Amino acid sequence: MTLDGSVKTSCSEGTRSSAVVCAMRRIEQCIGSMVQLVKETYVWLVWIPLLLLALGIGMNSLAVTMNHGIMPVVLPASGTIAHEDKIHLAATTNSRFLFLCDWIQLHTCRGVASPGDCLIAAGELLKWPVVWMWVGFSCCSRLNSLSVLRSPDCLLR
């Protein structure tokens, strides 16, 4: 507080508590501007396939790591594994994390897949449509903010 009774709001005050308050205000402003950027640019759409890909790769990596470099395969009754395949082996009683291993039967190609493979495929499938959705929403949002285009088809606010 100054001599005339007004409160200083600048961050140049010398006390430690005011420096902490000032730092907290700057952090809040930074987080607020990042949230605003994410909302305005629709960048969260691009994260969806990336998160699916990362989660699928992580699940497969965890299964292979916990089984000492081998991906156990729960084979159907008439299933076989190619001899030259070094990473896929039939699951045993010592196999860990079987729910992450290859056990989903694919009837179209007579193979098996893991839940991680399914997430990777979903991420790959969604990658380009989501990128184009992001481009469309971002362009439409920019045009709305510039007041260039005002049609019922493009109201995103």
108 and 133 inside one domain: yes
What is the tally of structural domains in the chain? 2
Residue 71 clears pLDDT 70, i.e. is over it: yes
Of these ranges, 7-11, 82-86, 88-92, the one predicted with the greatest mean pLDDT is 88-92
Q: With contact defined as beta carbons under 8 Å apart, do 136 and 149 qualify?
A: no
User: pLDDT tens digits for 115-136?
Assistant: 999 999 999 999 988 888 888 8
Tens of pLDDT along 50-65? 999 999 999 999 999 9
Query: For residue 60, what is the enclosing H or E element?
Result: helix 44-66
- In this structure, the answer to whether residues 119 and 90 fall within a common structural domain is yes
Per-residue confidence at 139, pLDDT binned at 50, 70, 90? confident
Q: What is the pLDDT of residue 1?
A: 45
Query: Which residue segment(s) compose the domain that 19 sits in?
Result: 1-40
110 shares a domain with 66: yes
108 shares a domain with 140: yes
Closest Cα partner for 113 from 50, 148, 63, 42?
63
Does 129 or 44 have the greater pLDDT score? 129
Are both 14 and 71 inside the same structural domain? Answer: no
Count of CA atoms in the C-beta half-sphere (13 A) of 155: 3
Whole-structure pTM value: 0.64
Same domain, 97 and 140: yes
Q: How confident is the model at residue 21 (pLDDT cuts 50, 70, 90)?
A: confident
Beta pairing class for 71-73 and 88-90:
parallel
Is residue 138 located within the same domain as residue 69? yes
